[in-house]
Amino acid sequence: MDETSLAFCPGHISGWFKKTGSENSFSGSIGGGIVISEGVFSEAIKADETVINVCRIDRTGNLISCDVGSPPIEYALLKLGISAQITTKTILPVGAGFGLSAASLLSSIKAVNELYSLDICDEEIAQIAYETEIKFKSGLGDVSACTGGGYICRKSPGMAGEIIRRYDMDKTISAISFGPLATDKILKDKYIMEKISSAYNEICPDTPEDFFKASREFAERSGLVSERVREVLNECSLREIPASMTMLGEGVFAYGEKAPAILSKFGEVYLMKMSDSGFSFRNRRE
Ligand SMILES: Nc1ncnc2c1ncn2[C@@H]1O[C@H](COP(=O)(O)OP(=O)(O)OP(=O)(O)O)[C@@H](O)[C@H]1O
Ligand SMILES: CC(C)(CO)[C@@H](O)C(=O)[O-]
């Protein structure tokens, strides 16, 4: 029987962000987001060659589809000097602003760490994932966000950056996605990144409602809101439902019990909560 190991990491919805470092460097970001209860399960099996199966499942765990290949995870395993067959599973769409590249890296590295008894501490796992995200420009702040739970305000970049975490976001979070946005292409677009930088507001909100307000104002100023996202945001505003655009994906996330009925008019609704903890359960809310 092949040995297997399984790990989970929550996803992260960025509400606003600003790249830090010089124009051509990608040292990380500051910003705000929500660590979410949905994320990525990674199952690792010992194998002589690395194969990554990227799978979507439905709410009951049934397989919907799988694609083969994940360059960031393949790179991370190469760095660790090991090979494995990894299957990642999530109900959320890839590339749609749910921080799944970070979640899949963290859960996959954690799974192979256990599979091969590599004895790598959680901080080092996070550092490897973070450096891989920066190398592939698949994310800037999601890894540091996912090392803990809550809704967050990242005041300085990097794995040692200052993060304010709050945990009183108790209502349901709903999300829909019209499709992915290529994170790497956006991060490399100087014009878009200048607009995002000028849209950034340093204030850290201290209530869920203020969080969604800050995120919505950022989205409007960023120039990233598409017609389809705008239509959903307008419907939510009419009903005083806190809502904003998922960064970076063409989608909407909204807060409270009234949101699912409104979002369901526009597409499949993904229901989730704020996660109390990150990929390392040592970071669970005290
Ligand atoms: N669930 C997953 N399993 C394995 N690899 C993944 C997964 N999600 C993303 N990746 C890898 O990360 C790469 C970049 O993903 P991307 O950053 O676009 O997705 P995301 O993190 O969900 O979106 P965002 O960064 O906007 O939150 C993908 O091309 C894929 O190679
Ligand atoms: C760049 C980003 C929005 C992609 O999800 C995220 O990594 C962040 O907030 O830095």
CATH number for position 17:
3.30.230.10
pLDDT in tens, 102-131: 999 999 999 999 999 999 999 999 999 999
Residue 97 alpha carbon, nearest atom of ligand 2: 5
Look at residue 263 and tell me whether its pLDDT is greater than 70: yes
Q: Which tokens go with 248? A: 């970076």
pLDDT in tens, 220-259: 999 999 999 999 999 999 999 999 999 999 999 999 999 9
Look at residue 51 and tell me whether its pLDDT is greater than 90: yes
Q: Is the C-beta atom of 70 inside 6 A of ligand 1?
A: yes
148 Cβ contact partners less than 8 Å away, ≥ 6 residues apart:
35, 163, 165, 277, 278, 283
ipTM of the complex: 0.98
- Alpha-carbon gap, residue 246 to 255, rounded angstroms: 13
Range of the domain at 15: 1-286
Considering only CA atoms, which residue is closest to atom 2 of ligand 1?
Answer: 104
Considering only CA atoms, which residue is closest to atom 8 of ligand 2?
Answer: 141
Report the SS3 class of residue 278.
coil
Q: Is the C-beta atom of 100 inside 6 A of ligand 1?
A: yes
Considering only CA atoms, which residue is closest to atom 4 of ligand 2?
Answer: 139
Q: Which tokens go with 214? A: 């800050």
- Alpha-carbon gap, residue 94 to 69, rounded angstroms: 13
pLDDT in tens, 169-206: 999 999 999 999 988 999 999 999 999 999 999 999 99
Percent of the chain with pLDDT over 90: 92
Q: Which pLDDT score is estimated for 286? A: 60
The residue with tokens 């017609």 is 227
Q: Which pLDDT score is estimated for 190? A: 92
Taking residues 42-69, what's their average pLDDT? 97
pTM: 0.96
Residue 191, number of CB atoms within 10 A of its CB: 8
When pLDDT is cut at 50, 70 and 90, the band that residue 75 belongs to is: very high
| Nearest bound ligand to the CA of residue 99 | 1
Please give the mean pLDDT across all residues of the chain: 95
Total domain count for the chain?
A: 1
Ligand 2 centre from 49 Cα, in Å? Answer: 31
Q: Is the C-beta atom of 253 inside 6 A of ligand 1?
A: no
Look at residue 42 and tell me whether its pLDDT is greater than 80: yes
